[in-house]
Amino acid sequence: VVDRGVARAHRGLQAAIKRYAGPETKVVVVPGGEKVKNQPRHLKQILRAINEAGLCRHSYVVAVGGGALLDVAGYAAATAHRGIRLVRIPTTVLAQDDSGVGVKNGVNAFGKKNYLGTFAPPYAVINDFGFLGTLSDRDWRSGISEAVKVALIKDAALFDFLERNAGLLAQRNQDALEQVIRRCAALHCAHIACNGDPFELGSSRPLDFGHWAAHKLEQLTNYHLRHGEAVAIGIALDSTYSYLSGWLPETDWQRVVDLLQRLGLRLYVPELGRELAHPEDAKCVLRGLTEFREHLGGRLTIMMLNAIGQPFEVHEMDTARVARSIEILKQLQENRRPAALTENGYVEPERVA
Amino acid sequence: VVDRGVARAHRGLQAAIKRYAGPETKVVVVPGGEKVKNQPRHLKQILRAINEAGLCRHSYVVAVGGGALLDVAGYAAATAHRGIRLVRIPTTVLAQDDSGVGVKNGVNAFGKKNYLGTFAPPYAVINDFGFLGTLSDRDWRSGISEAVKVALIKDAALFDFLERNAGLLAQRNQDALEQVIRRCAALHCAHIACNGDPFELGSSRPLDFGHWAAHKLEQLTNYHLRHGEAVAIGIALDSTYSYLSGWLPETDWQRVVDLLQRLGLRLYVPELGRELAHPEDAKCVLRGLTEFREHLGGRLTIMMLNAIGQPFEVHEMDTARVARSIEILKQLQENRRPAALTENGYVEPERVA
């Protein structure tokens, strides 16, 4: 199952697949991007191809593409015959450093991201750096936001590396990016294998730092915002909230927003500031908290930061403080000193017990 | 999610559910039987109800009905939010002694039984014997064939019990049936928990003794044959094949076909005898071998019997010997001495190395 964008950028790919895997190999090309998860006909197209090829549980579906394509092809493979072996070949920065190296699949339904899906460990994941050269600048950059996320919750040394190499990374230096991807993929694998809850039976999901707002922003922008772009804003938001709450030191907070900006990632889009007075309005980003809790189940659990590399959990968020965080991000994005900050520095954080 | 047949037979059930679980509990009634697995709108109806009720991963879907309803409701619960907790309340003999006490769910697609599904251990299974009294004679009897199956592959003492109580069971003695169900459910649970391959990654599936033909017969009869009725024929077929192959002693074989007949189960339907000269024809039961292998994957693996309670695996079946087995079943069903048998007894089995 090949992502249409990948098939176009790598014209010889389909012939190379048949040379490697045999002429009888069936190649299905479907669009990439979130739309493939929104339209059920793409899922059906993949399932039909699996059936027509007579694949059994000991056969292999190989998915080549970005995170969205891997999600839908993985869902088809996980449900056909109750599970055909899946090999994932992620082709974007985002998929290679984050979602591709995981056990989840899914499609969107009822207007909700990943409403239908399963947990299904892949047979293998192959990160082929050869695919990265043809990515657009937007896809290159936005994938790095998941690296910032995993550094913030797991690896201060990776954060240092990202800071030292932010210029190179923004200029598409492949060596620097490969080092980042290797480290992120290793952290991701270790987390799933060793965190004790690979299938998310509990309510804690550390790898979803910044994601409650990101998922909602993707939906609010009709998926014009890339997942990685939305994650950058979500990271900035929860880092700012952590700072305003008195948990994250000012210098650490400053490093986070500076790094995101040096990587060419936005901290704010207009959809973030809408309807903040109505937290349960479907157009308000705060509604994302309810949807995030409903998807994972149980008690609302959100990661916050005590320092770079030191996350902790909270179970509620103060609506007014989220609104102030958003106002600060808006001013930073407009290259203005946030009005809420004092002359001598940033606002005095609220001390929270 | 309540089986329409159950809702009709137990008029107070929906009110009782709301009294027990709270007035806000959403009750969805869908048809039972194989058609609920053939028509995607029933799956969608259940998913829509799960979404509208705002269920999260820590919520519960409770499915009350026969095996087909449990399969489709279980598939919806397993895929919504990547898995909502499922409580199964099987209401038929077949579901209480076999499929309900398991980890599989599924719907039919591309004309194939259970083409789409997952392995998802339920949160609980509750066998309430109170549902058995309103079953039709056909549903009562046909469910016992799975008990015969599990006895043949796992428990000679259970087979003895079934023989001693065949008259009572055929006359709907509930005490005898409850003992059978308790033993089968325990064997089923133990098998899944302890056999080392609960999610069927290998090619062996002992609980599917007799099922390659049964699945195909259900399809060939447009599901007019109940699953349990088809399983009885599949058991008779593979037992006869075991006998003709020289594996199963004549007395054991005789006991198997006698027990099935005393329980009121048929050994033959016309669809079993069609197109035997064309094993890969879609209308021939032998095509079921190919479909069985494709569903499970890997090498064809079929259970045969060395004795009652002593199964073993084979990896091919002789087409001509299957045809002879079918001819013998046809004659037994017509209460005739099988023509292929000698005057002094049954045919001399072929000795197989």
pLDDT digits (tens, 9 = 90+) for B85-98: 999 999 999 999 99
User: Can you give the pLDDT at residue B343?
Assistant: 42
Which of B13, B76, B16 has its CA nearest to residue B40? B76
Confirm or reject contact between B83 and chain A (CB < 8 A).
yes
Q: Using the beta-carbon criterion (under 8 Å), do B81 and A298 form an inter-chain contact?
A: no
Tokens 């998860």, residue located: A37
B119 vs A contacts (CB less than 8 Å): 82-83
User: Can you give the pLDDT at residue B353?
Assistant: 39
Which of B148, B147, B149, B73 has its CA nearest to residue B104? B73
Per-chain mean pLDDT for chain A? 92
This complex has an ipTM of: 0.89
Strands of the B29-30 sheet, one edge to the other: B29-30, B2-3, B60-65, B85-90, B124-125
**In the structure, what pLDDT confidence band is assigned to residue B352 with cuts at 50, 70 and 90?**
very low
**In the structure, what pLDDT confidence band is assigned to residue A263 with cuts at 50, 70 and 90?**
very high
B205 vs A contacts (CB less than 8 Å): none
Q: Are A287 and A279 in contact (CB under 8 A)?
A: yes
pTM of structure = 0.90
Lowest-confidence range among A20-29, B187-196, B326-335? B187-196
Confirm or reject contact between B291 and chain A (CB < 8 A).
no
Question: Which tokens sit at A185?
Answer: 């993929």
Distances from the Cα of A169 to the Cα of A137, A144, A162, A183, angstroms: 11, 9, 8, 15
Q: What would the mean pLDDT of A149-173 be, rounded to a whole number?
A: 97
Confirm or reject contact between A291 and chain B (CB < 8 A).
no
Query: Nearest CB to A295: which of B48, B81, B293?
Result: B81
DSSP tally for chain A: helices H, then strands E: 16, 9
Tokens 């004549």, residue located: B250
Distances from the Cα of A312 to the Cα of A46, A155, A238, A292, angstroms: 40, 14, 12, 17
**In the structure, what pLDDT confidence band is assigned to residue A347 with cuts at 50, 70 and 90?**
low
Angle, alpha carbons A98-A87-A2 (nearest 5°): 85
Q: List CB contacts of A41: < 8 A, sequence separation 6 or more.
A: none
CA B300, CA B304: separation in Å to the nearest integer?
Answer: 13
Q: Using the beta-carbon criterion (under 8 Å), do B82 and A51 form an inter-chain contact?
A: no
Confirm or reject contact between B123 and chain A (CB < 8 A).
no
Burial A109-144 (b: 16+ CB within 10 A, else e): beebbbbbbbbbebeebebeeebbeebeeebbbbbb
Q: What would the mean pLDDT of A172-178 be, rounded to a whole number?
A: 96
Q: Count Cβ atoms below 10 Å from residue A251 Cβ, excluding itself.
A: 10
Q: Count Cβ atoms below 10 Å from residue A309 Cβ, excluding itself.
A: 17
